[in-house]
């Protein structure tokens, strides 16, 4: 079994467990608010089952080939792309934590440009326009249309 197949099986099992948890949790939600998470949990569960079945079929069909041709390069937890994914995940975690302390606008003003710098996207005008455009878009959707306030953070509360 390749590392990719093992990873697909692990991810599909984790997503299936999460979708079952969300599915069960939707029974505690009153009214029509439960429809979206209920449907989403079913969709996620079905997709994870499909991924699990496809991974098992791939291994079954390619069993003889896989024994001879698995290399260290096939390991998704090896190399610079894994390190970049780890750093991106860490940056996203810091963004979520900052969200609670300094609010949506400031944390987003810090996160998007720093993430673009990390991903080596060129063009500082892109940083400015995409960051401001994203903040304005989210503000209009949530505050103006949905009338849901964005977090101001503990510092500015």
**Chain segment 7-64, per-residue pLDDT in tens:** 788 888 889 999 999 899 888 887 777 788 888 999 999 999 998 998 888 777 766 6
Is-contact 121 69, C-beta < 8 A? Answer: no
Is-contact 55 8, C-beta < 8 A? Answer: yes
Give the list of residues 6+ apart from residue 32 with CB closer than 8 angstroms, or none. none
What's the pLDDT score for residue 135? Answer: 93
pLDDT band, very low/low/confident/very high, at 79 (cuts 50, 70, 90):
low
What's the pLDDT score for residue 113? Answer: 94
What is the share, in percent, of the chain residues with pLDDT greater than 90?
A: 30
From the list 150, 115, 117, the residue with the least C-alpha distance to 136 is 150
pTM of the model: 0.56
Query: Of residues 114 and 62, which shows the higher confidence score?
Result: 114
Is-contact 44 22, C-beta < 8 A? Answer: yes
């Amino acid at each position: 079994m390749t590392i990719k197949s093992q990873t697909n099986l692990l991810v599909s099992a984790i997503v299936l467990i999460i979708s079952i948890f969300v599915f069960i949790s939707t029974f505690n939600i009153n009214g029509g608010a439960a429809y979206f998470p209920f449907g989403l949990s079913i969709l996620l569960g079905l997709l994870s089952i499909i991924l699990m079945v496809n991974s098992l079929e791939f291994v079954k069909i390619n069993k003889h080939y896989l024994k001879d041709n698995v290399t260290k390069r096939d390991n998704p937890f090896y190399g610079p792309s894994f390190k970049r994914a780890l750093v991106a995940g860490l940056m996203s975690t810091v963004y979520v934590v900052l969200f609670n302390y300094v609010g949506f606008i400031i944390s987003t003003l810090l996160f998007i440009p720093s993430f673009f710098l990390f991903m080596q996207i060129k063009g500082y005008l892109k940083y400015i326009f995409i960051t401001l455009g994203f903040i304005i878009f989210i503000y209009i959707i949530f505050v103006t249309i949905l009338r849901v306030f964005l977090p101001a953070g503990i510092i500015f509360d």
